[in-house]
Amino acid sequence: MFAAGYELNPITDYVWEISPSGGMRVPGRIYSSRKMIEKYLQTDESVKQVVNVAHLPGIQKYSLAMPDIHWGYGFPIGGVAATDIEEGVISPGGVGYDINCGVRLIRTQLNLDQTEKRLQKLIENLFQSIPTGVGSSGAIHKQSPKEIKKILQKGSSWAVENGFGEATDLQFTEENGCLSQANPEVVSPRAIERGQDQAGTLGSGNHFLEIQVVDQIFDEKAAEIFGLFSGQITVSIHTGSRGLGYQICDDYLKILVKAIPRYGISLPDRQLACAPIQSPEGRDYLGAMAAAANFAWNNRQIIMSLAHKSFVKTLNMNSRDLGFELVYDVCHNVAKIEEHQIGDVRKKVCVHRKGATRAFPPQSSQLPIRYQPVGQPVLVPGDMGRYSFVAVGTQQAMEDTFGSTCHGAGRVQSRHQAIKSGRGMDLIKELKQRGVIIQAKGMKTIAEEMPYAYKDVADVVDVMHHAGISGKVARLRPLAVIKG
């Protein structure tokens, strides 16, 4: 099969390979069904980006793409690449502008009958208490530059120490909500300034807070261990490092573009700007990126606490009866130093996951003890009109994808195209007919994020399920959502 001018050779029904040619150091591998390739990838330039990534110095095994693949900056969104820590490079394009954009899933002890009549009031209160939209700010008191640096160093634990949530939340956050290599001293004053008033804010675009109901269970054992049951009310939070993370990416792209000639690196696309991991530029970017990731975890921790208070107030319940507890928090725009098996050797590599989620297997020491019998929760949001999924990581993911899987539905229309498609439509009414209440800053954001702008996330999740990378656990149906 051909896509965007490249020959895709089937490895299985759900894995397709592009053989190395030209300057490619490894093959490209795309996870997809034949139907999705024919429907979405025939002219999509993201396939070319998979090939481009395969040129990176030190890349290991494959340049990978998940089934939610679409065009991004440098790397495709849905792209995964691991580079040798000694001889390889780190690339901001393999992380993205919204560093540690991620998803946090919260379970409650509520069922739909207990909340259905209060959903409108609940979503209104959430919209008032959690700042949303471009440049949103003011969730908590504006922090000094010194205090922002503490957040960049500590991550989620800063929020817990300041009364936003419980210490147990850290156990159920990827990396316990903190990357230890964070270095606030290599973060620009402008980035710190942009973060001073944005902790606890949702932002704009595809970021959201969504109230959902568990409407289908696929894996009873994993669902029980994750604390999920049919008819249960859950809450998902999807946001990242806001303006601070964006500024860090922008700052370091400029630095690394200038560094490329210094290290004799040849690239097919300047958007893949990179530097050796062990170089001063590479170490500084890794430290700044980790700091932004910590800011993002802290951000989601604060938002969870604000949401908890809104639920308690609106439903007039105590916290014990509400049972507002973190299932897990995963990131999908990050580069992390991990150990993986490369052929016969166990080695440290830098795993870039851009629009891809970690999916570690049962018995992994990186998981909470409670989850080790089944594996890591994988959180895959869809569009706001259909459904989202909870999945679980597998051993095959560790062997084939550096412990990585899909992160969402994947866009099929740009934001501009989506706005054009929505002209003349009553978008709020259409969502209401689907059973979804929405609160948003404006119609533009609603149009950009309507279901027609995205692939069906069920198709994406099914590919990874059938490929053995992440197994389906539960489906979540949206009831009410706030967006910027």
**Residue 230: which CATH number?**
3.90.1860.10
| Number of Cβ within a 10 Å radius of residue 119 | 18
Q: How many residues does the chain have?
A: 484
pLDDT for 407 equals: 97
412 C-beta neighbours (distance < 10 Å), count? 16
What pLDDT is recorded for position 441?
Answer: 78
Q: What is the pLDDT of residue 421?
A: 76
CA distance 453 to 68: 13
Predicted TM-score of the model (pTM): 0.96
> Distance between alpha carbon 479 and the CA centroid of its chain, in Å?
21
pLDDT at 450: 82
| pLDDT for 134 | 78
Predicted pLDDT at 431: 86
At 133 the pLDDT is 77
Q: Token digits for 52?
A: 């481009």
d(CA 374, CA 367): 10
Taking only the tens place, the pLDDT of each residue in 157-193 is: 999 999 999 999 999 999 999 999 999 999 999 999 9
Spans of the chain, pLDDT less than 70: 424
Give the model confidence (pLDDT) of 58-82 as tens digits. Answer: 999 999 999 999 999 999 999 999 9
Amino acid 431 reads L
Residue 156: per-residue pLDDT: 98
- The residue assigned the tokens 């998940």 is 66
pLDDT, position 442: 74
Please list the active-site residues.
407
Q: How many domains does the chain have?
A: 1
Please give the pLDDT value at position 176.
98
Please give the residue range of the domain that contains residue 10: 2-483
Pairing of β 325-331 and β 356-358: unpaired
